[in-house]
Amino acid sequence: MNPMHFQIPNHRLRYFLVAARHPEDSSLYSQDKDLIFNHVRPCDCEGMSSKNGLDCKYVEIDHPIDKWHELGVDECYGPTQMHTVDSYLEVDVDESLYLTEKILSAPWARHLSYVGSKDRCTVCFTSSYGRRFNKSSGSFLDVSEEFGVNTDTENILQQKLRFFSGQELLNLFGFPKTFIFPDNLSRNEKFKCVGQSINVVVVRAVIHEHFCRKKTSC
């Protein structure tokens, strides 16, 4: 499953296994690869209602979901059904999140992942975000552009680029607004905590799929 299945603009493909403990449950599952679910079916029951902040509509996309991280810049805007990045941004962020000239002038800076407010895809954020600079550790935000920096034609030093904040990562990972970090955590410690986690929206949907298929209470 991937957050992009739920219109969240973050590529974080993860494998989820639901196991049946009791013999009477075993008929619900199969080792037949043709019967393995690759999505969560839409459901209108109370446990998945919009008032709980979860939209479980499965999003069909033109490219295989596990190949999104291999797509080029022009294709990383994502399918039109996806929510845009600005839906997950905070209004006020710390100035320390902005990338320094030292970072932007490094030869490898042009090969990082940059997105704008209207992009519909960010790369997977990992626990090394903020400590290691590579395309696989997480995207950076260009606050001056709707779409990400085209590093082949733009002078990257002229762009206003920053990390996503810890709260913005929580937003992308589906954590409720009531979840907050302890005050004593540093920026990189927050990044590490979120990067080690899994998307709350996806986990809720996987668990819900299991219980609804058993026709038990949500």
Q: Say what the pLDDT of residue 151 is.
A: 67
Which tokens in the block code for residue 208? 């819900």
Residue 13 has a pLDDT of: 82
The pLDDT score that the predictor gives to residue 218 is: 39
Return the pLDDT at 188. Answer: 93
Among the ranges given (132-141, 154-163, 193-202), the one the predictor scored with the smallest mean pLDDT: 154-163
Decide: residue 122, CB within 10 A, 0-12 exposed, 13-18 middle, 19+ buried.
Answer: buried
β-strand 140-142 against 114-115: which pairing, if any? parallel
Mean pLDDT along residues 28-57: 57
Name which residue leads in pLDDT, 195 or 210.
195
Question: Quick check: 73 pLDDT over 50?
Answer: no
Residue with tokens 């639901």: 18
Q: State the CB neighbour count (10 A cutoff) for residue 144.
A: 12
Question: Quick one: pLDDT band at residue 22, thresholds 50, 70, 90?
Answer: low
Which whole-number Å values give the CA distances from 142 to 1, 70, 95, 106, in the listed order? 28, 21, 14, 17
What pLDDT is attached to residue 199? 92
Token couple for 216:
């038990």
Predicted local confidence at residue 216, as pLDDT: 45
CA-to-CA dists, residue 101 to 123, 143, 164, 177, angstroms: 23, 16, 18, 33
Q: Which residue has the higher pLDDT, 168 or 66?
A: 168
Of all residues in the chain, the percent with pLDDT exceeding 90 is 23
Per domain, the residue ranges of the chain are: 3-213
Question: Looking at residues 168-193, what average pLDDT do you find?
Answer: 93
Q: What is the pLDDT of residue 53?
A: 46
What does the pLDDT read at residue 147? 79
Task: Give backbone dihedrals phi and psi of 140, rounded to 5 degrees, phi first.
Answer: -115, 155
Which positions ≥6 away from 171 have C-beta within 8 Å? 88, 89, 90
Which residues have C-beta within 8 Å of that of residue 136, sequence separation ≥ 6? Answer: 69, 123, 124, 126
Q: In angstroms, what CA-CA distances link 118 with 17, 27, 130?
A: 33, 45, 23
Contacts 24+ apart (CB under 8 A), 38-42: 39/1, 39/5, 40/1, 40/5, 40/205, 40/206, 40/208, 40/209, 41/209
Per the prediction, the chain carries an average pLDDT of 77
CATH class, range 3-213: alpha beta
Across the range 178-205, mean pLDDT stands at 90
